[in-house]
Structure 1
Amino acid sequence: MTVRDSGTLEDLAERLDDAALTATAIEQISERTGLSVHDAYRVQDLSISRRLGRGERMTGIKMGFTSREKMRQMGIDETIWGRLTDAMEITETLDPDRHIHPRAEPEIAFRLSRAPEPDEPPASLATAVAAVAPAIEIIDSRYADFRFNLADVIADNASSAAYVLGQWQDYTGSINGLDVTLTVDGEVAESGSTTAILGDPLAALAAGARLAARYGRPLAAGDLVLAGAATAAVPLRAGTRVEARVEGLGSALFRVAGKDTA
């Protein structure tokens, strides 16, 4: 079967939305549908529209594949993006029963002061940033075994499930080359640098502005942008405390509900 009409895309969007709502893994959708990247973004848009119809509100975007090594593994030369809504933000506790196989990644979050131009260079985009914050993105592929190809993951909102923000701070200069650690119950699980985010988090912001405009959702003042992971993702266990600390910016943290039986 190949994707030929909008009805088929609607069906795929419903399958992914239902999988997220019920925390039930599904098989890859691209193997039987021949889904293109273009149509995968259409499925993502349709899926998010279902959530907006239930009362959620768009808050911004998240970037994916901002690691050069991850790009090489996937055989691609461009980042991907997904949507963020207010229902995805958590402030204290993550309910693991609402997710399939959640993982946490430490990130940098931008809050925009103005709409960036689609082709604006990273250095110029510094003037579009109102504030920065340490952040954690919780990713959770809706596919069985966390296995997917490029079209699959795009359709699945770039695996985005939830996010946690630390304290916002005025943007006063470069945030490149900052040390980043992700700890679980006080023990370092992953460490890295903001340089891992496309060489400079502002480059990820520029890529996000370009992609969002290309697919009909240009960035605007007030939008939140998660720039991408600074380290590998860490699987989450019930009953644990997860914290991302970024040099000079402080930390973002949350707890996973339940009791760790590992």
Structure 2
Amino acid sequence: MSANLSTLAIMLDDAARNATEATQLIETHPDLTIEDAYAIQLLNVQRRWARGERRVGYKMGLTSRAKMQQVGVSEVIWGRLTDAMRLEDGGVLSLSRYVHARVEPEIAYIIGKPLAGEVSAAEALRAVDAVAPALEIIDSRYKNFKFSLPDVIADNSSSSGFYVGAYAKPDTDVANLGIVLEVNGRPVQIGSTAAILGNPIRSLVQAARLVGRAGESLMPGDIVLAGGATAAHALSVGEHIKCMFQKLGDVSFTVGE
């Protein structure tokens, strides 16, 4: 199966680089497991590292209890962030780089000391150097934005880009902050950071456990995106996106061609 995993990783990497749709992996590999999917994800990201990209952190997905129940899983999923995925707050997003680009509000944790394995919320918080408002660009490469759980994990859990706003002190309470996502000045999503597992710090605890299980660690300087706090908004050319976070400020960008 290992040769097949490499082939699938190349297919997804090519789809991401060329902004083209790909066929769901389970259509041709119905026996694909979650373990296979994470192996494909790693092979995929290793191709990016070989092209000169650097690891800068992790993203967490399926951090809404409703989403977990919807897809029938009992734990969150995760993906990897590289420096090429980081976008400039206030800049222009080139929509042509993506297949089905969507945006969702997140809380970002900036790690100050190594963290991995089974940790408590208090231990996780002590490893945090700063918190920040963030937006994640998610973009499934699969046709019609439809996929199974192994499909999405293999596709780096749909993570394709991210914006991080101004850093705040690590002890800033982000458990239940109001969020308003605006498009051209009109609110399209209103929510709370409490939608992230009831408290975003729980997502960081999960991140430490899951990356530790994979033999990795959250390292100083890493960014951890805690998961979507509202439903994602599908992007269109000409939109100005602004997301306002209670206590933390805002993050914004404009969608270009």
**TM-score, length-scaled by structure 2:** 0.97
1:123 match: 122
Task: Give the Å deviation of 1:181.
Answer: 1.2
Task: Give the Å deviation of 1:167.
Answer: 0.6
1:251 match: 250
Q: Does the 8 Å CA contact 2:60/2:77 hold for their aligned counterparts?
A: yes
Letter in 2 for 1:49: Q
Q: Does the 8 Å CA contact 1:41/1:215 hold for their aligned counterparts?
A: no
1:87 aligns with 2:91: no
Residues of 2 paired with 1:117 and 1:163: CA distance?
23
1:30 aligns with 2:26: yes
Residues of 2 paired with 1:7 and 1:136: CA distance?
35
1:13 match: 9
Consecutive unaligned residues of structure 2, counting only runs of 5 or more, are none
**For 1:229, what is the secondary structure of its paired residue?**
coil
Task: Give the Å deviation of 1:102.
Answer: 0.3
Q: Does the 8 Å CA contact 1:104/1:137 hold for their aligned counterparts?
A: yes
Residues of 2 paired with 1:113 and 1:136: CA distance?
21
Residues of 1 paired with 2:215 and 2:36: CA distance?
13
Q: Does the 8 Å CA contact 2:116/2:211 hold for their aligned counterparts?
A: no
Task: Give the Å deviation of 1:172.
Answer: 2.2
Residues of 2 paired with 1:174 and 1:166: CA distance?
16
Task: Give the Å deviation of 1:74.
Answer: 0.3
Residues of 2 paired with 1:144 and 1:137: CA distance?
20
1:193 aligns with 2:192: yes
Consecutive unaligned residues of structure 1, counting only runs of 5 or more, are none
Letter in 1 for 2:60: M
Residues of 2 paired with 1:85 and 1:79: CA distance?
20
Task: Give the Å deviation of 1:58.
Answer: 0.5
What's the % identity of the aligned pairs?
A: 46
Letter in 1 for 2:15: A
Task: Give the Å deviation of 1:192.
Answer: 0.5
2:63 match: 66
1:166 match: 165
Residues of 2 paired with 1:31 and 1:96: CA distance?
28
Residues of 1 paired with 2:101 and 2:24: CA distance?
18
**For 1:171, what is the secondary structure of its paired residue?**
coil
Let me know the Cα RMSD of the aligned residues: 0.9
Residues of 2 paired with 1:124 and 1:247: CA distance?
25
Q: Does the 8 Å CA contact 2:106/2:228 hold for their aligned counterparts?
A: yes
Q: Does the 8 Å CA contact 1:192/1:231 hold for their aligned counterparts?
A: yes
1:232 match: 231
Residues of 2 paired with 1:20 and 1:216: CA distance?
26
1:118-155 deviation per Cα after TM superposition (whole angstroms, max 9, x unaligned):
10011321111100110000000010011011100000
Letter in 1 for 2:6: E
